[in-house]
Structure 1
Amino acid sequence: MICGVDEAGKGAVLGPMVVGAVGCEREADLPAGVRDSKALTPRQRERLYAEITGSFPWTVVEISAAEIDRLRREMTMNALVARGHADAIRALAPLTAYVDACDVNEERYGTTVAALLGGACTVVARHHGDALFPVVSAASIVAKVTRDHAIEALHAEEGEIGSGYPSDQATITYLKDYISGHGMPPACARQSWETVARLMDRRHQATLGDF
């Protein structure tokens, strides 16, 4: 068996990062229309997610905002992603794993993931792997839909939080309002992110201005 691995939410300031992995014997067996999740509409992703998870071996590894904050005190974000990729591969135990490389050096990233697996399988790491390998595209769909569901659950709890990414003004507005009202970031926020640190610093400066 081969498998593909990709993650969603690496750069988000809210919510978990989700690593998805999908296994198959041949990429030709994957559902028609499988491609990079970013090139699909939400409806297409949901349909393909149902087909993939209903017919192929798959797994997800969710790393919460709090866990990301804790791990970033011990390792880089790239190392954290590599660990998540290795955990997902280990769950499926393929002969070969194709991964979307998050390091600028593809070979180094592949070596890092392979070392975490102890040589249990061959790891092929490529930039834009979700566009190059259908099995990685399938993994990107599983990761993206799983994270979207997590964000929808947060939306139901917290109200409008946007996509969770720093580039989303709705997300920034939510963070500003929450920090202003509570004096601290919400539990779903990655406090190690510069975005949160800046907002906390601005609140601190504004509070000092009251005296």
Structure 2
Amino acid sequence: MKSDNIDSLESLKDYIGSQDNSKSFVYFSKIPDICKTEKCMLGVDEAGRGPVLGPMVYGISFCPVDKKSILKDLGCADSKQLTEDQRDEIFVNSNNKDYATESIGWAVDVISPNEISTSMLRRTKRSLNEVSMESAISLIKKALELEVNVTEVYVDTVGPPEKYQAKLQAIFPDIKITVAKKADSIYPIVSLASICAKVSRDHALKVWTFREGIEVPSDGFGSGYPGDPVTKRFLKNFEPLFGYPRIVRFSWSTASNALDENRAYTVEFEEEEELNEKKVKLASKKMTSFFKTEVPVKKFKRHNFFKERCLEDVIDF
């Protein structure tokens, strides 16, 4: 986690571009002193939940309850209803204008495509909802650890809002929790969190480094959403054995279907039941059975001399 001062789009891109984009990372802005002494509201929202390309970014923003008019002055609104230029302008102003930087803080959790896919496909699976909730909870906890005096939290829901709100309230019993659908269009503090998340994701894609050494097509890879024709064309380019670069969420059906349609190599793995059967068979064998020679040792018939005298081989000492 960093707290370097990001005060422009260039510094944002420089910071994100310096990260290993195959791994997740968290960025926290500097915490205004007023946020440690005054009662604060905190908003939570995400960007990039649905795309097959790139990270999902969770964002939080916070400011004193008595200073919430600043959010309206900045023009905070649902990030989906704003143009990219408008989002960028609000983001820059919130990090530049004295009246904003003295009262507003924010943070993002950039969750890599690699983490999303491995979480959803590992043996003990974590759904996208679980990944989302864990990210939101972690950011709130970190804000509290950094001494932000949070008394109210507003969250754009993941799943049923009542269930999510009860979960958060149990974790943060001393904070007023509000979870709602389309919270980013209702609460300006959530709108700013949404803008921080969206701007961070947009610029993460712009500075993405393909460490696999592939050449990006001249028309790029699009927005990353499955319906984007540019993204569809990008998904036709892959290594037949190793598949896609790490920018692709390989757990998405869009990606697996594209591999099937474009004839990627098929790799078969043994079923878990077959592996377990083999383990049982191996466990039932004696250790000495693994050291037998390939040519069986010839057995000799015991001489009558030993049989008549009831002599046996010594097996215990």
Report the TM-score when normalising by structure 1: 0.88
Paired with 1:154 and 1:33, the residues of 2 have a C-alpha distance of 29
Counterpart residue number, 1:42: 84
Paired with 1:102 and 1:148, the residues of 2 have a C-alpha distance of 21
What is the percentage of aligned positions where both structures have the same residue? Answer: 34
Q: Which of 105-114 and 82-91 deviates more?
A: 105-114
Paired with 1:50 and 1:90, the residues of 2 have a C-alpha distance of 26
2:203 corresponds to which of 130, 133, 149: 149
CA contact (8 A) 1:85 1:113 kept: no
Residues 158-205 of structure 1, C-alpha deviation per residue, up to 9 Å, x if partnerless? 35010111111111111112356x75011111111111110122233x
**1:111-150 pair list within 5 angstroms:** 111-115=166-170, 117-119=171-173, 121-150=175-204
Counterpart residue number, 2:307: none
Paired with 1:78 and 1:149, the residues of 2 have a C-alpha distance of 24
Paired with 1:155 and 1:123, the residues of 2 have a C-alpha distance of 38
SS of the equivalent of 1:99 reads strand
Counterpart residue number, 1:12: 51
1:173 corresponds to which of 228, 233, 236: 233
Paired with 2:255 and 2:242, the residues of 1 have a C-alpha distance of 12
Paired with 2:251 and 2:261, the residues of 1 have a C-alpha distance of 16
Runs of 5+ in structure 2 lacking a partner? 1-39, 145-149, 267-317
Count of residue pairs the alignment pairs up: 204
Counterpart residue number, 2:14: none
CA contact (8 A) 1:14 1:165 kept: yes
Residues 83-111 of structure 1, C-alpha deviation per residue, up to 9 Å, x if partnerless? 111122222222221010021x1111222
Paired with 2:118 and 2:46, the residues of 1 have a C-alpha distance of 19
Counterpart residue number, 1:185: 244
SS of the equivalent of 2:45 reads strand
Report the AA paired with residue 16 of structure 1.
Answer: P
Paired with 2:230 and 2:209, the residues of 1 have a C-alpha distance of 12
Report the AA paired with residue 186 of structure 2.
Answer: L
Paired with 1:80 and 1:53, the residues of 2 have a C-alpha distance of 28
Highest relative contact order (Cα 8 Å, sep 6+), 1 or 2? 1
Counterpart residue number, 2:130: 79
Q: Which has the larger radius of gyration?
A: 2
1:108 corresponds to which of 124, 138, 163: 163
Paired with 1:75 and 1:114, the residues of 2 have a C-alpha distance of 22
Structure 1 residues 95 and 188, CA, compared in 2 at 3 Å: closer, same or farther?
A: same
Runs of 5+ in structure 1 lacking a partner? none
CA contact (8 A) 1:155 1:161 kept: no
Structure 1 residues 190 and 141, CA, compared in 2 at 3 Å: closer, same or farther?
A: same
1:67 corresponds to which of 115, 134, 147: 115
Report the AA paired with residue 118 of structure 2.
Answer: R
CA contact (8 A) 1:95 1:122 kept: yes
Paired with 2:119 and 2:191, the residues of 1 have a C-alpha distance of 27
CA contact (8 A) 1:2 1:96 kept: yes
Report the AA paired with residue 84 of structure 1.
Answer: S
SS of the equivalent of 1:158 reads coil
TM-align CA RMSD: 2.1
SS of the equivalent of 2:208 reads helix
Paired with 2:95 and 2:141, the residues of 1 have a C-alpha distance of 18
Counterpart residue number, 1:91: 142
Structure holding more helix per residue: 1
Report the TM-score when normalising by structure 2: 0.60
Structure 1 residues 8 and 107, CA, compared in 2 at 3 Å: closer, same or farther?
A: same
1:16 Cα deviation from its structure 2 partner: 0.5
